Each structure stands twice: as C-alpha cells, then as structure tokens.
Amino acid sequence: MRRVLLVLAGIAIFAVLWEGYKLVGSPDGTVIFGVRVLPRADDLSMPHLWTIAERLGRPEIAGGRPVGLVVLQACAFTFGITAVGFVIGALVGLVLAVVMQRFRLAERGLLPYVILSQTVPLVALAPLVAGWSGNLSFGPYPWQDWMTVSLIAAYLAFFPVAVGMLRGLQSPAASGVELMRSYAAGWWRTLVKLRFPAALPYLFPALRLAGAAAVVGAVVGEISTGTRGGVGRLIIEYAREATSDPAKVYTAMLGAALLGLVVAGTVGLLEIPLMRHRRHVEVVTL
C-alpha cells in the first residue's frame, strides 16, 4: 500500500515538474553564451502530458491500430529479445566468474579482457555482429535478426554479472573456507554450499545492472541493426515524425521506460525466495 502511494507520488512529482517547466520555461529554451542549458518548452519539444496520453489512444496511421497497442506489442517483442540476451549474458557471466574464482591464472588472464570488452562502442559493434552472424544457422534453423540483437544485449549483460559474481564468490571469510576444508568438502561442494550462497547478495545487484544493460543493448541493437518489430525501431520511426506529431515519439519512449521497469521488476522478483534471511533483522538477546 505504502509502496503504491510512493510510486504514485513519484509519477505526480514528475508530472508537476514537466508541466511546471512548460509553464515557466521559455519556449525557445535558455541559452547562455551560445549553449542551450535548458530545453525548449514549446509544444513541439515538450508536448503536454495529456497530449501524449491522448495520443496513445489514437490510431498510429489513419485507420490503423491505436498507438498504445502498437507500442505495447513492440515492448513485448523487445522484452523477449532482452530476456534471451539477459539469460545468455547472465549464464556466461556466471561461468566466467566461476572459472576466474577457480583458477587465479584465469582471473589474471581474463579479467582485463572482460573489462576491455565493455569499452568497445556498442554502435560500432552491432553491425559487425550482424555481419558475422549472417551466415550462421542452427541446423535447419537459419540465424534470425533478433538473435543478433539478443547477442548484443547479452554482450552488455554478462559484464556486471561476471564482475559482481567474482567478487561474491571470493567474499567468504577464510574461516568459512577452512570450515569446509575441515568437513573434507572439495572445490565443488565448497562452491555449492558456501561460495554460491555467499555470492547471492553480490549477484542480485549485478543482475539488476545486467537487466538494465540488456534493455539498452536490445534497444540500441535494434536501432543499429535495423531489426523490425521492437520498441527501438519504433523510437526511430516515430522520431522521423517528430515535427508533425511530437507526442508520438514520446509514446515510444514511454514504452521503453516501461520495458526497463518491467525487466527491473522481474529481476527483483528472483530475489525474494533466495534472500529470505535478509528480511529478518531483529536481534534476540538472551
């Protein structure tokens, strides 16, 4: 109940800021020494919120389906791509972290490349991936465009998981490791019983980051590979109509934001059954 109120309050504050700025801001924006420090407040740049809301209900093109529905469908499509990319990325990240924890040499050899991988600009990478994967096929199933986008999403998503999980796997105190040794537990059982559970508090924030990164990867991937059907593509399409129909592009952005929230929420749900012990904090003193 309280959370619902907080969310509503957040939305209300945003609406007040948006409309408030439109009310007091200059329609041409504020320019200091040739640099625009505040955006234009005219209806073309910042349509009224109710215009955007109303635009959601009207058809995309004359006689077409309502924009709201189109955006939702595009979001569902991108959500699928994001989910596949997120799962692949998370798995790759987990495996990398376990390998790096197991072998010190692997940590020293791999970690720099893991970090380096994230400094490659995504926009440059996306067409390359599309080019490489064009000839691939899984037996009778040819490579699909959306797989390229998922791959790009996975490429962004694996990084926080690999780094966070490595940190988590290394987090148990020496006494815990010694305890497992005293039980004659080998590397695998120490991983399962000690390192993995101990890594969970590190894993969940990493997964949240990975979720957000996967959304960015999917949206940017769609745009730069020209994949149709997703919300990334929709943003580009609607942006072309921004001069004649400014509210339309905002509906697509609203969709992308919603997608991000849904992904973050879904990742957050994973946490609930696994982090039960974190919820009880009252200390009994006897």
Which residues sit at the interface with other proteins, rule CB under 8 A? 173, 175-176, 178-179, 181-185, 189, 193-194, 197-198, 200, 277, 280-286
- The CB-of-178 to other proteins minimum distance in angstroms stands at 5
Angle at 176 between CA 174 and CA 180, to 5 degrees: 115
Sequential DSSP letters for 168-180: HHT-S-HHHHHHH
- Which residue's CB is nearer to other proteins, number 108 or number 189? 189
Closer Cβ to other proteins, 190 or 224, answer by number: 190
Cβ neighbours, 10 Å, residue 103: 12
* Cβ 9 to other proteins shortest distance, Å: 32
Rank residues 189 and 228 by Cβ distance to other proteins and give the closer one. Answer: 189
User: For the chain, how long is the longest CA-to-CA vector?
Assistant: 74
Integer Cα distance of 245 and 126 in angstroms: 30
What is the C-alpha to C-alpha distance for residues 48 and 41, in angstroms, rounded to an integer?
10
Cα separation, 150 vs 89, whole angstroms: 9
Whichever of 37 and 281 has its CB closer to other proteins, that residue is 281
Nearer to other proteins (CB atom), residue 14 or residue 183: 183
Q: Minimum CB separation from other proteins for residue 283, in Å?
A: 6
Nearest distance, CB of residue 13 and other proteins, angstroms = 35
Q: In this complex, which beta carbon is closest to other proteins, that of residue 34 or of residue 273?
A: 273
Q: What is the dihedral of CA 45, 49, 51, 53, to 10 degrees?
A: 130
Residue 245 CB neighbours (<10 A): 16
CB of residue 193 vs other proteins: minimum separation in angstroms?
A: 7
Beta bridge partners of 234: none
Q: Give the Cα separation of 241 and 232 in Å (integer).
A: 15
Least distance from other proteins to the Cβ atom of residue 168, Å: 12
